[in-house]
Chains A and B, each alone.
Chain A
Amino acid sequence: MIAGVCSGLADHLGWPVKYVRLGMILACFAGGAGVAFYAWLWTMVPTADENAKRNARRPASSIAPAVSLPPVPVPGVGPATAAYDAGGSATVPGDRSAGGTAAAGPTAGPGDGGTASPAGAPYGFGAASAEDRWGGTALASWFSFRRIQYGKEILLGAALLLVAAILIARQFGVDVPLGTLIPAAAILGGAAIAWMQLDETRRAGLVDKTKADQAGGWVRLAAGLALVVAGVLVMVSGSGSWEQTWLALLASVAVLGGVALVLLPWGLKFWKDLETERAGRVRETERAEIAAHLHDSVLQTLALIQRRAGSEQDVVRLARAQERELRAWLFSDAAKESGLLADRIKSVAAEVEDSHGQAVEVVTVGDTAMTDRHEALVQAAREAMLNAARHGGGTVSVYMESTAGSTEIFIKDRGPGFDPDAVPEDRLGVKESIIGRMKRHGGSAVITSSSAGTEVRLALPSATVEAGEQRTSDVRNGESKQ
C-alpha cells in the first residue's frame, strides 16, 4: 500500500494480497519486525520497472544466450529458496539484489570472489566472465550460484531464522549473549553492504555510469565501512566505554587511511588498465564494423564498376547509388529512420535515381509527420520526378519546404520542356497521377514548362488550415507563374 511491496510479494508467492498484508501488519506488532522487513524489501528489491529495464537493456548475447534469458519465475522452487525469494518478490525471483550477496560472501564460489575482491581481474573469473561485457554480471553470477549451489539463499534464510529464533528466545526470557551477537551481526551486515556496493558499481560502470548510482554506491560503501568498524571495535574492546571506543576508533581510522594510501596507486593503475582495455575493445569493434561495411558496399560496387566499365550510364548509376549509400551511412543517424516527410522524399528520389540513372538532388527545409495526404503528395512528387528523369536529362532538382501552414514540393529539370495543355487525354501520368491526385487531397499542382526546362510545383496545405489557405496558395502560384 505504501510502496507496493505487499502486492509484489503476493504476486511473487502466489498468495492473495490480503493475507500478505495481514501477515505484514501482524508482524508489525511483533516487535516492529514487519516494519523492518517491509523497509528492507522496499529498498533492496528492484521494482518491476527497474527489472524490466535491466532485462531490456541487456542485448541478446551470442556468447551466452541461455544466460541472457530473463529468469522464469517458478513459484515455490523449494523451501530453501522461498526464504530468499521473498526478497525478490516484487519482480523476478532472486534477481540478485538483496542481502543475498552478503550472506554468501564469505563462502562464495570463484565467481563471487571475482566481483567482491578488489584484486579480481577486470573481467572476473569463472563462469561470470563472458557475460560481464553485456552488463549481465549480476545475473550471471546469480545463475552460477544457482547452478553450483544454493549457498547464498540457504545462508540468508538460516541467518534470518537465527535472528527470529534469538528474538523469540529473548521473549521467553532466555539469556542470549547480545553483547557479542550484535557486533557480529553488524560486521556481517557491513561487509554485505560494502560487497554489494562493489558489485553495483562494477555493473553500473559496465552498463551505464550515472552520477546518482555512484553517489548512492559511495554512501552505501561508507555505511558498510562504518558498521564494520564499529562492530569490530565493540567486539574487540569488549566494553561499552566511550572513551576507549573513541580512541580505538581514531587508531583504526589511521590504520585504514594508511592502508588506503598504500593501495591507492595500485588501485588507480588497475582502474586505468581496465579503462584502456575497454576503450581498445570499443575501437576494435568499431573498426571491424567499418571494415565489414566497406567490404559489403564500396568494394562490391567497385568490382561491379570494373566489370561494367564499358557502359557509362551503368558506371554513373552505380557510383551515384554507392555515394548515396555511403553518405547515408556516414552522416545520418540510424535512429533517425523516421516516418517523416523529408526522409520519404529522399528515399523516393533515390529510387528514381536508381531506376533512371539521373542524379536527383533533394533539398529539404523543415519537416512534418507523414499522413495519408502527405503520402499522396509523395506519390505525386514521385511521378513528377520520374517524368523529369525520363524526359528532362541532366540533374533533377527537388526542393521540399514544410511550414506550419503548408508543404510545398518543387521538381525542376532542364529538359526541352513540353506543353502541359497539349498532353493527350489518354496519358494519365501528368493529369491523374499529379494534378488529379493533388486536387483530390485538397492540394494543388502547377506545371510550368519552357525550352529551358520544366518545373512542377506541388502544394499541400495543412489539414487544419486547409479551407482558408487553399485560396491564397492558389493565388500565389498564379502570380509567380507569369
Chain B
Amino acid sequence: MNTNPDSDAGRRVRVVIVDDHTIFRSGLKADLDERMDVVGEAGTVEQAIAVIAEKRPEVVLLDVHLPGGLGGGGREVIAGSNALLGTTSFLALSVSDAAEDVVSVIRAGARGYVTKTISGKEISDAVIRVADGDAVFSPRLAGFVLDAFGTAPADIADDELDKLSARELEVMRLIARGYSYKEVAKELFISIKTVETHVSAVLRKLQLSSRHELTKWAAERRLL
C-alpha cells in the first residue's frame, strides 16, 4: 500500500478522526502527512454523527469500537451519516482482528479497513485512496473475503454478486500475501487502476451479497 495514485500535489483531503482515545487521535493526527487537513474530531457516536454532518469531510477515519449511541460503535456512525455516503467515505480503523468487527463495518458502508498498528505513511496513502473512491484492503480483510466467498472462482452462470471472478480472486490472494496494489499490478501485468477496480468490485460484493455461503459464514461468526 505504499503507492500513491496520481494525486495532484496541491490537493488537500479534509479528514475527521473518530476515536474515543484522545492520545490515539493526537498521535494519528501527527502521523497524517501534509496532504490532509484534520477538520474535526469526535469521541463518541453522537459527537461523530454531529461533527460529520457539520464538517462534511471527504474521509472519516473511524474507530470500530466507540462508546455512546446504541452500542453499535462505528457501524452506527456510518448508519447515522447515511445521507452523506455519496460524498463522505469511511475508512475503518481497529485494534481488533475479529471478523465480526471488520466485516460489520464494511457491510455498513466503510470503504476499507486498516489496523491501528499501520504506519503513518501507509495510513496517509490509505486515506488518499479512499478519498479517490477506491477501496483499501488490508491482508487480513482480504483473508476474510477469501474465507467468506470461498476460493473457487465463479462460473459465468452464477449471480455476479455471489462469487468472486477468477481475476478478483487472484487480486485478493496477492493482497492477502502482503502485496501492495502496485506489486499486485506488476505481478498480474495490469494497471494499478485495474487493481483498484477489482478491489472496489470485491468490496461491493462484500457489502451487497446475500449469498447463502456468506450468510452462513457470517452466522458462524455471529455477524448477523
Bound-complex Cα distance A361 to B118 (A): 12
Within 8 A of A (CB), among B172-201: 173, 176-179, 183, 187
Q: Is B97 an interface residue (CB 8 A)?
A: yes
Contact A327 B146 (CB under 8 A): no
Contact A363 B183 (CB under 8 A): no
Contact B140 A366 (CB under 8 A): no
Q: Which residue of the partner chain, among A399, A403, A480, contacts B143 with CB atoms under 8 Å? A: A399
Candidate in A363, A366, A412 with the most chain B CB atoms within 10 angstroms: A363
Q: Is B151 an interface residue (CB 8 A)?
A: yes
Of chain B, the residue at the smallest CB distance from A365 is B146
Q: Is A331 an interface residue (CB 8 A)?
A: yes
**B95-111 vs A, Cβ < 8 Å mask (1 yes, 0 no):** 01110000000000000
Bound-complex Cα distance A452 to B179 (A): 11
Contact B143 A365 (CB under 8 A): yes
Bound-complex Cα distance A98 to B30 (A): 74
Q: Is A195 an interface residue (CB 8 A)?
A: no
Within 8 A of A (CB), among B104-150: 117, 139-140, 142-143, 146-147
Within 8 A of B (CB), among A286-343: 327, 331
Candidate in A366, A399, A452 with the most chain B CB atoms within 10 angstroms: A399
Q: Which residue of the partner chain, among A331, A361, A395, A452, contacts B183 with CB atoms under 8 Å? A: A452
Contact A363 B173 (CB under 8 A): no
Contact B146 A361 (CB under 8 A): no
Contact B151 A366 (CB under 8 A): yes
Contact A331 B96 (CB under 8 A): yes
Q: Which residue of the partner chain, among A331, A403, A412, contacts B178 with CB atoms under 8 Å? A: A412
Q: With A397-B178, A399-B176, A412-B178 in contact, is A361–B147 under 8 Å at CB? A: no
Contact A399 B151 (CB under 8 A): no
Q: How far is the CB of B123 from chain A (nearest CB, A)?
A: 14
Q: Is A142 an interface residue (CB 8 A)?
A: no
Q: Is A351 an interface residue (CB 8 A)?
A: no
- DSSP class of B's interface residues: helix, strand, loop or mixed? helix
Q: How far is the CB of A91 from chain B (nearest CB, A)?
A: 39
- DSSP class of A's interface residues: helix, strand, loop or mixed? strand
**B22-40 vs A, Cβ < 8 Å mask (1 yes, 0 no):** 0000000000000000000
Contact B98 A363 (CB under 8 A): no
| Chain B residues with CB under 8 A of A401 | 146, 151, 173, 176
Q: With A401-B151, A403-B151 in contact, is A363–B96 under 8 Å at CB? A: no
| Chain B residues with CB under 8 A of A214 | none
Bound-complex Cα distance A475 to B82 (A): 48
Contact A361 B151 (CB under 8 A): no
Within 8 A of B (CB), among A396-441: 397, 399, 401, 403, 410, 412
Contact A455 B146 (CB under 8 A): no
Bound-complex Cα distance A327 to B116 (A): 14
**A127-139 vs B, Cβ < 8 Å mask (1 yes, 0 no):** 0000000000000
| Chain A residues with CB under 8 A of B96 | 331
Of chain B, the residue at the smallest CB distance from A320 is B117
Bound-complex Cα distance A132 to B76 (A): 44
Q: Which residue of the partner chain, among A365, A366, A480, contacts B187 with CB atoms under 8 Å? A: A480
Bound-complex Cα distance A365 to B147 (A): 5
Q: How far is the CB of B149 from chain A (nearest CB, A)?
A: 10
| Chain B residues with CB under 8 A of A403 | 151
Q: How far is the CB of A183 from chain B (nearest CB, A)?
A: 57
Q: How far is the CB of B17 from chain A (nearest CB, A)?
A: 22
Q: How far is the CB of A475 from chain B (nearest CB, A)?
A: 16
**A120-149 vs B, Cβ < 8 Å mask (1 yes, 0 no):** 000000000000000000000000000000
Q: How far is the CB of A151 from chain B (nearest CB, A)?
A: 52
Bound-complex Cα distance A403 to B173 (A): 13
Instruction: List A residues at the B interface (Cβ < 8 Å).
Output: 327, 331, 359, 361, 363-366, 395, 397, 399, 401, 403, 410, 412, 452, 455, 480
In the assembled complex, 16 residue pairs joining A and B whose CB atoms fall closer than 8 Å, in A order, are: A331-B98, A363-B140, A363-B142, A363-B176, A363-B177, A365-B146, A365-B176, A366-B151, A397-B139, A399-B139, A399-B176, A399-B177, A401-B146, A401-B176, A410-B178, A455-B177
Instruction: List B residues at the A interface (Cβ < 8 Å).
Output: 96-98, 117, 139-140, 142-143, 146-147, 151, 173, 176-179, 183, 187
